[in-house]
Amino acid sequence: MMKLLGYFFEIIRGSWITCRHFVVNMWFHTLKVLGIRTKRRGAVTIQYPEEKKEIAPRHRSLHRLMTREDGRPRCVVCMLCMTVCPSECIYIEAAEDSDPEIQKYPKKFIIDLSRCCFCGFCVEACPEDAIRMDTGKIDLATYSRENLIYDLNRLVG
């Protein structure tokens, strides 16, 4: 019998908690509707497409290729990123550069984002700091798979 009363007490306590949340949040919602600004908000929701949360500096987002002063990509086609990539989503084709200091430049540099797992190994492997993942662009969804294949133009741009 005492156990039963204990359950009953807990049932009432449970509804007290939800009721308190309801009343407190409703109070702050009402204040907001009336135009009174308070420090506390009625909900923790961020209305995503309109409001965006600030992305942390170390967040790994869409890749970009860095360029030299003359606008050509910094990449020297050492193939380290292509080798380290666990999803095998990077494809590079080399071409000979006229500058003997550089030797090679990428004729094609393709990242297939439909396979990329955003591990960031390519960024860590790169000896020339040619590839970075700091564009802050995270809404990459598109309607076709072809749109997810990023070539040199889109990566540099």
Partner 1 sequence: MGIDWLIVLIKIIFGLVWFLTLTLYLTWVERKESAVIQDRIGANRAEILGLRVLGLFQPFADAIKMIFKEDFVPSFANRFLHTLAPFLSFFFVAVTISAIPFGDKIQIAGREISLQILNANVTLLFVLAMLSLAIYGIVLGGWASRNRYTLLGGMRGAAQLISYEVALGLSLVGVIMVFPSLNLQDIVYEQGELLFGWLPKWGIFLQPLAFLIFLFAALAETKRVPFDLPEGESEIIGFFTEYSGLKWGMFMMTDFMEIIIVSCLLTTLFFGGWQVPWLGPDGFHFPWGWDWFLPRWLVVLLQVGAFNLKVFFFCWFQVLVRWTYPRFRYDQVMDFGWKLLIPLSLINIMATGIIMSVLQ
Write out the residues near partner 1 by the rule CB under 8 A.
Answer: 4, 11, 14-15, 17-19, 21-22, 25-26, 29, 42-45, 47
**Minimum separation from the CB atom of position 51 to partner 1 (A):** 12
**Minimum separation from the CB atom of position 15 to partner 1 (A):** 5
Matching residue, tokens 């006229």: 98
**Minimum separation from the CB atom of position 7 to partner 1 (A):** 10
Nearer to partner 1, 14 or 136 (CB): 14
Nearer to partner 1, 43 or 117 (CB): 43
Nearer to partner 1, 20 or 59 (CB): 20
Round to whole Å and give the CA distance between 20 and 94. Answer: 65
Round to whole Å and give the CA distance between 137 and 131. Answer: 15
The helix (H) or strand (E) run that includes residue 30 is helix 2-33
Nearer to partner 1, 42 or 120 (CB): 42
**Minimum separation from the CB atom of position 155 to partner 1 (A):** 34
Round to whole Å and give the CA distance between 33 and 45. Answer: 16
Nearer to partner 1, 50 or 70 (CB): 50
Q: Name the amino acid, one letter, at 111.
A: I
Q: In degrees rounded to 5, what are phi and psi of residue 108? A: -130, 140
Q: How far is CA 14 from CA 1, 17, 39, 98, 111, in A?
A: 20, 5, 27, 75, 52
**Minimum separation from the CB atom of position 11 to partner 1 (A):** 7
